[in-house]
């Protein structure tokens, strides 16, 4: 994986990162829509979050992905606190486009204007306690294509000004991602990818355009950890307890979906080969799927940080195992 088994390059930027990143949505804590729907993953212990980030650093993880909206700014603040003087040793990615009320901890719409992009970046730099962001990502997955071209151009301005090193778009639409891809300093597409939910068109775009494939939902929002059973609800503040339309595999108030859990069980023996945990096997599938993938599983504890980081030492699945996974899933 890259220059050695533990690193990859962030697309054409030349920025080297660990082959595994850590997604910082969950450590933002609880936040909601204006009408009370949960957008976080439940309660968090900030001290444990800080310990988990520092443990990840000690285990070789150098890439951390957050967003200004996660916990309405709280995730960025916690990440900054955890990194401290080690900021220069890591690659920090954040996102913009969603509006929020930090005091009420609520989401408050979206703003795709270039003026907001600059305001949001200024605010993120302050919360992250840094003077640059390594990778700045548009967080509006279905933004207007014409407006996106303007936002791509302002990201080029940010690069020239030294405020960011590279940029990308968090979207599952290959046509939208291609709009950003023509920018000289576009380095990545962040998109959903896991063994249950493949994304061949986006991986093809990344290969054609020399971009990194940053994989959100690498563990299918927890389904691929093997810790969830059908009929068991999540806590009230967990987004999976009242899943929006874009979050398959879960049902309101009843937890994980039986059909999805069946697919996980069918894959269990394959993914846990070679002493891997189920989660480690799911991450290994992603590394085998493409030389450009950088999974960013979430975490809330030191134990989760250790399990996820432990996948690095075991490396990717074999080509034969990749084929077998497709056969099991009927692809």
Q: What is the DSSP string of 256-323?
A: E-HHHHHHHHHHHHHHTGGG--HHHHHHHHHHHH-TTEEE--B-SSHHHHHHHHHHHHH-PPPHHHHH
Contact 280, 288 (CB under 8 A): no
Number of H helices and E strands in the chain, helices first, is: 10, 14
**For residues 291 and 326, what is the distance between their CA atoms, to the nearest angstrom?**
18
Active-site position among 70, 132, 136, 167? 70
**For residues 24 and 314, what is the distance between their CA atoms, to the nearest angstrom?**
23
| Residue 313 CA neighbour count, 13 Å, CB half | 11
Contact 216, 190 (CB under 8 A): yes
**For residues 169 and 190, what is the distance between their CA atoms, to the nearest angstrom?**
6
Structure tokens at 78: 């916690």
Quick check: is 132 catalytic?
no
Contact 12, 187 (CB under 8 A): yes
Which residues, 6 or more positions from 227, have their beta carbon under 8 angstroms from its beta carbon? none
Other Cβ atoms within 10 Å of 89 Cβ, number: 9
Distance of CA 217 to the CA centre of its chain: 7
Helical ranges in the chain per DSSP H: 46-58, 74-83, 114-128, 145-160, 174-181, 200-209, 258-271, 278-289, 302-314, 319-329
**For residues 186 and 212, what is the distance between their CA atoms, to the nearest angstrom?**
10
Catalytic residues: 70
């Amino acid at each position: 994986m890259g220059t050695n088994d533990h690193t990859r390059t962030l697309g054409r930027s030349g920025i080297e990162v660990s082959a595994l990143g850590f997604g910082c949505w969950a450590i933002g804590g609880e936040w909601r829509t204006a009408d009370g729907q949960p957008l976080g993953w439940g309660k968090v212990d900030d001290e444990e979050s800080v310990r988990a980030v520092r443990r990840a650093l000690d285990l070789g993880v150098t890439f951390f992905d957050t967003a200004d909206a996660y916990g309405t700014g709280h995730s960025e603040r916690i990440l900054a606190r955890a990194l401290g003087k080690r900021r220069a040793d890591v690659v920090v990615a954040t996102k913009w486009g969603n509006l929020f009320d930090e005091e009420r901890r609520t989401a408050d719409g979206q703003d795709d204007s270039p003026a907001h992009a600059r305001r949001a970046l200024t605010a993120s730099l302050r919360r992250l306690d840094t003077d640059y962001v390594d990778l700045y990502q548009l967080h509006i997955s279905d933004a207007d294509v014409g407006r996106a071209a303007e936002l791509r151009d302002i990201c080029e301005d940010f690069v020239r000004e030294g405020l960011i090193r590279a940029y990308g778009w968090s979207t599952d639409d290959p046509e939208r991602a291609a709009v950003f891809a023509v920018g000289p300093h576009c380095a990545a597409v962040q998109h959903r990818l896991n063994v249950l939910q493949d994304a061949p068109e986006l991986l093809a775009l990344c290969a054609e355009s020399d971009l990194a494939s940053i994989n959100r939902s690498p563990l299918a929002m927890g389904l691929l950890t093997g810790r969830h059973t059908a009929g068991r609800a999540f806590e009230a503040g967990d987004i999976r307890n009242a899943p929006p339309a874009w979050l398959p595999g879960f049902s309101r108030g009843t937890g994980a979906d039986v059909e999805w859990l069946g697919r996980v069980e069918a894959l269990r023996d394959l993914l846990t080969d070679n002493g891997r945990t189920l989660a480690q096997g799911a991450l290994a599938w992603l590394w085998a799927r493409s030389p450009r993938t950088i999974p960013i599983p979430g975490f809330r504890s030191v134990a989760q940080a250790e399990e996820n980081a432990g996948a690095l030492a075991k490396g990717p699945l074999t080509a034969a195992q990749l084929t077998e996974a497709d056969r099991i899933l009927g692809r």
